[in-house]
Structure 1
């Protein structure tokens, strides 16, 4: 099933390398969970009435990358990709018109922007923007830790969705 290479960070890595390594590991885990599936399978909801799908998770994580590493960290607010004020869960609301090719390309572009933006900050540097939850700034360490948690939680969802689709299991 999986051709995406994943490596856990070195056990003795420094703090930044450790945080970046675990984030990258979880990014690649989500990609691996989606490999080899058709657009239709990627749009398959976990268990009705839930709309949670692998494609929706990828779109959601693209929004998270954009939100935390652009809007919050740098103060750049290009606006949402998939959700709107009228549909705050639009990233999860996939239709037959939504494709893996588009979602994957968007997600990877946001990851690349996230890497570039994070490279300009130290772990203790405070964000220039604000989240929708608080006006208090975040340091880069907090953002990395939150994104690792976000991916890890959703990778658990991805495990269950993938197993339901074709029986594939694994970490």
Structure 2
């Protein structure tokens, strides 16, 4: 199901130009697919690398010399670069899951305890919610509908 949700996000964004991917289709606070690929990459990184695998990696959008994670800049986004980072994070997440112990083994992060099953379920929910948004925005941008 997580693979299906990831594939759906890619499908919603496929065929749009870089300008269309950066277009703010609804309001200044809501942006289309390039922002979601950046956000999705950060969510993949955070849940699978940080929480499940115990890594403390830097975001590709963190300025050099900074320790703070930077927000993804939609206006200056390189759509192809954002999707490449997202695809890399998805591949890394799949490798972490494949190498992980059973789904019910837990890990602690930030004072909370999570199982891999919980993380995967959360990711399905995260993608499903954003894919609904992407569906509406894609229809607004060029009229394309469907899964």
Q: Return the alpha-carbon distance in structure 2 between the equivalents of residues 81 and 146 of structure 1.
A: 23
2:91 is matched with which residue? 112
Structure 1 residue 29 corresponds to structure 2 residue 17: no
TM-score (norm 1): 0.77
Preserved contact between residue 73 and residue 140 of structure 1 (Cα < 8 Å): yes
Q: Return the alpha-carbon distance in structure 1 between the equivalents of residues 61 and 122 of structure 2.
A: 21
**Structure 1 residues 13-162: aligned runs within 5 Å:** 22-82=1-61, 90-91=71-72, 93-96=73-76, 98-121=77-100, 122-127=102-107, 130=109, 134-162=110-138
Structure 1 residue 169 corresponds to structure 2 residue 145: yes
Report how far residue 144 of structure 1 moved: 0.4
Unaligned runs of 5+ in 2: none
Moved more, 116-125 or 43-52: 43-52
1:3 is matched with which residue? none
Aligned residues: 144
Q: Return the alpha-carbon distance in structure 2 between the equivalents of residues 99 and 49 of structure 1.
A: 18
Q: Which runs of 4+ in 1 moved over 6 A?
A: none
1:19 is matched with which residue? none
CA displacement 1:42-90 (0-9 Å, x = unmatched) = 01113123242210011100001000000000101102333689x9771
Q: Return the alpha-carbon distance in structure 2 between the equivalents of residues 80 and 88 of structure 1.
A: 6
Preserved contact between residue 126 and residue 139 of structure 1 (Cα < 8 Å): yes
TM-score (norm 2): 0.89
Which structure has the higher relative contact order (CA within 8 Å, separation 6+)? Answer: 2
Preserved contact between residue 63 and residue 82 of structure 1 (Cα < 8 Å): no
Q: Return the alpha-carbon distance in structure 1 between the equivalents of residues 7 and 143 of structure 2.
A: 20
1:17 is matched with which residue? none
Q: Return the alpha-carbon distance in structure 1 between the equivalents of residues 139 and 90 of structure 2.
A: 26
Q: Return the alpha-carbon distance in structure 2 between the equivalents of residues 108 and 114 of structure 1.
A: 10
